[in-house]
Structure 1
Amino acid sequence: MENAYIKLVTNSNAQHISLDDVKDLFSYYKEITGKTGTQLDWDYDNAAFPYQIKEVNHEKNWFYLKSDHQKYKAIIVGVGQEKIVDETGENTVQSYIQITLPEISTAGDKGKANEFCKFLAKKLEGELHLFNGRVMYFYKRK
């Protein structure tokens, strides 16, 4: 299993995130890619988001994206919080979105997961910790 995280830092435009918020962001992603497809006269929304949201587990704070497409299988999406020490030295709680590639995931899933991570981090102005360990900053830095 591989994991990527979108962490909501002090400069993010949200400090807390719920599963419903993440599902809303995926709906928005499907909507905008669908509009792009309409402009191009191409069924782009199915190519851009070849998944259905399945088995939302609110007690455990996760759901998964399942695909029937040949190139894609599944991506797990969860939300959580962790205790950290912030830049001022104070103990605080930081919210995050976790994107997990289970053993059955394909290279196509990893590519889509990277796209989704960047989209979510950009929309939330968060700190993206990619599958390869690199960090991308999407918030305004001082």
Structure 2
Amino acid sequence: MANAYIKLVPASTKQEISLEDVKELFTYYKEITSKTGQQVSWEYADAAFPYQIKEVDKENNWLYLKSDEPNYNAIVVGVSTEEVEDDNGDMRNQFYIQVTLSQVSTFGDKGKANEFCKFLAKKLEAELHLFNGRIIYYNKRK
């Protein structure tokens, strides 16, 4: 299993996020990619988001992206919080989105998961911790 994290830091556009917010962002992603497809006369929306959103566990804030396409299988997305120390030494709750590739995930899933992570992090101006351990800062830094 591999995980990537989109962390909502103090400079992010939101400080809290719910599973419903993540679903709305995926819906927005599908909308904008379908508009791109219309502009280039190609069914880009299905290629850009080859998944159906399946809710797995509302209690634990997880949803499941399942695909019937040949090169894709599944991605799991969750929302949670962690306690972190801020610059002043105070403890605070930090929300994050976790994107998980399971043992049945394909290389196509990993590519799409990276794409979705970058989209979500950029939209939320968050800190993205990629599957390979690298960090991309989409938030304004001091």
Give TM-score, length-normalised by structure 1.
0.99
Letter in 2 for 1:63: L
Counterpart-to-counterpart distance in 1, 2:21 and 2:69 = 26
Structure 1's consecutive aligned runs of 4 or more residues displaced over 2 angstroms after TM superposition are none
Letter in 2 for 1:31: E
Q: Which residue of 1 aligns with 2:79?
A: 79
Letter in 1 for 2:19: L
Matched, 1:41 2:41: yes
Letter in 2 for 1:8: L
Counterpart-to-counterpart distance in 2, 1:23 and 1:141 = 27
Counterpart-to-counterpart distance in 2, 1:20 and 1:56 = 13
Shift of 1:58: 1.2
Counterpart-to-counterpart distance in 2, 1:33 and 1:135 = 26
Shift of 1:35: 0.1
Letter in 1 for 2:125: E
Residue 45 of structure 2: SS of its match in structure 1? helix
Match runs of 1:50-129 below 5 Å: 50-129=50-129
Residue 103 of structure 1: SS of its match in structure 2? coil
Counterpart-to-counterpart distance in 2, 1:63 and 1:55 = 4
Counterpart-to-counterpart distance in 2, 1:122 and 1:43 = 24
Letter in 2 for 1:98: Q
Residue 132 of structure 2: SS of its match in structure 1? coil
Report the identity percentage.
67
Shift of 1:55: 2.5
Counterpart-to-counterpart distance in 1, 2:47 and 2:85 = 41
Shift of 1:96: 0.1
Shift of 1:57: 1.8
Letter in 1 for 2:2: E
Letter in 1 for 2:24: D
Q: Which residue of 1 aligns with 2:12?
A: 12
CA RMSD of aligned residues (A): 0.6
Letter in 1 for 2:53: I
Letter in 2 for 1:94: Q
Counterpart-to-counterpart distance in 1, 2:105 and 2:88 = 40
